[in-house]
Amino acid sequence: MIHAFKDVPLEDRWLFPGRRPNLHLTARQFSRIFKETVAAAGIKKQVTLSPAIMTSDRIMS
């Protein structure tokens, strides 16, 4: 799968593309989507995002 990914143009390589063309999903966008998803799922328990999940150093470049 990674080998097929390298043939994709650089500007289209984001697994989670952001609102702007050629940019990744930002931490703020991810947080907003996460909160909306929790509400839509009807989850009543308090849930939080781990800051480690949202750091770019954990994402394969």
- What tens-digit pLDDT sequence spans the chain (61 residues)? 556 667 777 666 677 778 877 788 888 888 898 899 999 999 999 888 876 665 544 444 4
pTM: 0.58
User: Within 13 Å and on the Cβ side, how many CA atoms surround 29?
Assistant: 9
> What's residue 20's pLDDT?
78
